[in-house]
Amino acid sequence: MGSRTISKGEIFQNNSEERRPGTTKKLAETGKEGKRMKELRKPPKLCRGDTIAVVSPCHGWAGDAKIRWKYQLGVTYLQETGLKVLPAPNALRGSAYLSENPEARAEDIMWAFENADVKAIIASVGGNDSIRIIPYIESSRIRTYPKIFIGYSDVMNLHILAYHCGLSSFYGCNLLSPLAEAQGWHPYSRKWFEKVLFSDSEIGVIEPSKEWTYEEVDYFDPLHRRTYYPNNGYELIQGEGTVKGRLFGGHTGLKELENTPLALDAEDFRDTILFLEDIPEFFTPLAIEDFLRWLDRIGALGEINGMILGKASENTTFTRQKETVRDVLSQLGQGKLPVIYGVNFGHSSPVCVLPYGAEAEINCEKISFSILESGVL
């Protein structure tokens, strides 16, 4: 399959600009004018007996012999929820092949969206290479078939592509991690996977997990067990009152999409609650400052209603990062923007599931985070 470059204009083609009832009122209440973040189409919910496809858009580890045990473990856990698991045609061809053939990874994405038997799609693992598959993806083959797509880390680039196609997707577990934990799929992670993807009821309050781990995943040792530690819950970095907005984000690598077909502008952040996970190389104090100043430069920082930051993926108190967030936001005139730290998503474990475009709420007095609607139909 030859390379095919897509333009941002093509990605946006046929995306509806319809608004839900009440949007105009909410914009007036926030004092903001102009278009809001686009409405995203929700996919149908999962049912027992449905098929979930595994794709490898970022890295081919799932097919490598020394890691195949972890793939099989993840398949077993998904089957325990009543799902059938189907690997995409190229998903298990290994690291070497998939690194050399980004078009094969892209073809798997389109195959999974177009396959009528597939009701959901999960990424096998993250990495740092998903951006290479974007030129090979025909956006019309995604836009036409809304269905659950879940993953995190480098999978973010595919979430942003889905967003540009007008589809809601889900920032949550990849198959190899944290789903396929050697000691078992963590009950907190499984709870939110099932609640968000199998139910069309309001998701509700996302309580912090009672325990968490920052320890790295061992992909090679089936006997390795990560140690979990008591979790102290969420922490209010700054802000007051209660704010609402549509969920949008990933990690500070959003900035790196500038000058690509996935580039974002201020309107994409309007009336959002921005979620950012802690990837060490993307969440140093300098990276945080650069990201916040980039948001300000493109006119997006003032459009955001609030922020939630993921639980740290290192053994750290997050003190320097929190100070950076407060200092830089104050310098940029956003010293009252509500920001909560410690929500369970990203590279630590366990994790909840965040639907792009879903209406969410930060309550600074209660230091709570809620999702006010379903993620699926």
Domains in the chain, CATH or no CATH each: 51-201 (3.40.50.10740), 224-371 (3.50.30.60)
Q: What is the pLDDT of residue 192?
A: 98
Where does the pLDDT of residue 18 fall: very low under 50, low under 70, confident under 90, or very high at 90 and above? very low
Q: What is the pLDDT of residue 17?
A: 36
Average pLDDT of 80-94?
98
Residue 369, pLDDT above cutoff 70? yes
For 125-177, the pLDDT digits (tens) are 999 999 999 999 999 999 999 999 999 999 999 999 999 999 999 999 999 99
Where does the pLDDT of residue 36 fall: very low under 50, low under 70, confident under 90, or very high at 90 and above? low
Q: What is the pLDDT of residue 38?
A: 78
- Taking the C-alpha atoms of residue 325 and residue 327, their distance in angstroms, rounded to an integer, is 6
Q: What is the pLDDT of residue 20?
A: 32
Q: What is the pLDDT of residue 45?
A: 98
Pair 172, 192: CB distance under 8 Å: yes
Please state which of the ranges 25-34, 91-100, 329-338 shows the lowest mean pLDDT.
Answer: 25-34
Residue 105, pLDDT above cutoff 70? yes
Q: What is the pLDDT of residue 282?
A: 82
Where does the pLDDT of residue 316 fall: very low under 50, low under 70, confident under 90, or very high at 90 and above? low
- Taking the C-alpha atoms of residue 54 and residue 224, their distance in angstroms, rounded to an integer, is 24
- Taking the C-alpha atoms of residue 235 and residue 232, their distance in angstroms, rounded to an integer, is 9
Q: What is the pLDDT of residue 278?
A: 86
Average pLDDT of 23-33?
35
Using CA atoms, how far residue 99 sits from 55, 81, 257, in Å, is 14, 32, 21
Where does the pLDDT of residue 35 fall: very low under 50, low under 70, confident under 90, or very high at 90 and above? low
Give the whole-number percent of the chain exceeding pLDDT 70: 90
Nearest to 197 by CA among 78, 90, 337, 341: 78
Nearest to 374 by CA among 207, 204, 200: 200
Q: What is the pLDDT of residue 266?
A: 98
For 247-262, the pLDDT digits (tens) are 999 999 999 999 999 9
Q: In sequence order, which residues have a C-beta less than 8 Å from that of residue 26 and are 6 or more positions away? A: 36, 244, 271
Give the whole-number percent of the chain exceeding pLDDT 90: 85
- Taking the C-alpha atoms of residue 81 and residue 170, their distance in angstroms, rounded to an integer, is 18
Nearest to 377 by CA among 149, 211, 146: 146
- Taking the C-alpha atoms of residue 363 and residue 234, their distance in angstroms, rounded to an integer, is 11
Residue 3, pLDDT above cutoff 70? no
Q: What is the pLDDT of residue 124?
A: 98
Where does the pLDDT of residue 93 fall: very low under 50, low under 70, confident under 90, or very high at 90 and above? very high
Nearest to 275 by CA among 191, 357, 183: 357
- Taking the C-alpha atoms of residue 103 and residue 158, their distance in angstroms, rounded to an integer, is 14
Q: What is the pLDDT of residue 280?
A: 77
